[in-house]
Amino acid sequence: MASRKEKARNKRLLEPDTRAEEPEALLPGSDPEKLNQFSWIPALPPAELRRLYRSSANGMLDHDLLDQVGISFYLRCKQGVEEFKLIRSGKLKCHHCGSLLLKEEGLMVCRCGYQYTYKGYIDSFNAHRMPGGNALHIFPSLRRHGLAPKRILKK
């Protein structure tokens, strides 16, 4: 488990950058169609979770649904943790081509043409409630309990 100190540090790192920054649309060279376009793996729909719990409570666990829910939960945590680690090491991942960009002030332009601002990246990460540092410890635990989706672990 993460120590309290470690948790506090993980939390701090994703706090929004509150320093004054130019409005993004006004950044020289920015293209609104290519600026800060992210694709995060979505959170599990509550209706699906309810369906899963209900099937379990009725003693007829829906294994296909369990698999589906497990995989999306796993992938979301994986994306959150990977990008959290990148952010912590001063990098960003382009959500279109997967290239890594070094954190810079102002506009960062990827070789594929998409553009990012560090603030936009953090704000989007937070707005999508991506799991970050506090999810770092779920992977060993999932593996220990044999709960990590096998199809993914084999890759």
**Which parts of this chain interact with Zn ion (CB under 5 A)?**
94, 96-97, 99, 110, 112, 114
Q: Smaller CB distance to Zn ion: residue 109 or 142?
A: 109
From the CB of 98, what's the least distance to Zn ion, in Å?
7
Q: What is the CA radius of gyration of the chain?
A: 18
Q: Smaller CB distance to Zn ion: residue 107 or 110?
A: 110
Q: Smaller CB distance to Zn ion: residue 81 or 92?
A: 92
Q: Smaller CB distance to Zn ion: residue 24 or 148?
A: 24
From the CB of 113, what's the least distance to Zn ion, in Å?
7
Residues with Cβ within 8 Å of 118's Cβ and at least 6 positions away in sequence, in order, are 17, 92, 103, 104, 105, 108
3-state secondary structure of 149: coil
Q: Is the separation of the CB atoms in 82 and 40 below 8 Å? A: no
Write out the two tokens for 38.
């992210």
DSSP-based helix, strand, coil % in the chain, nearest 5: 50, 10, 45
From the CB of 77, what's the least distance to Zn ion, in Å?
23
From the CB of 94, what's the least distance to Zn ion, in Å?
3
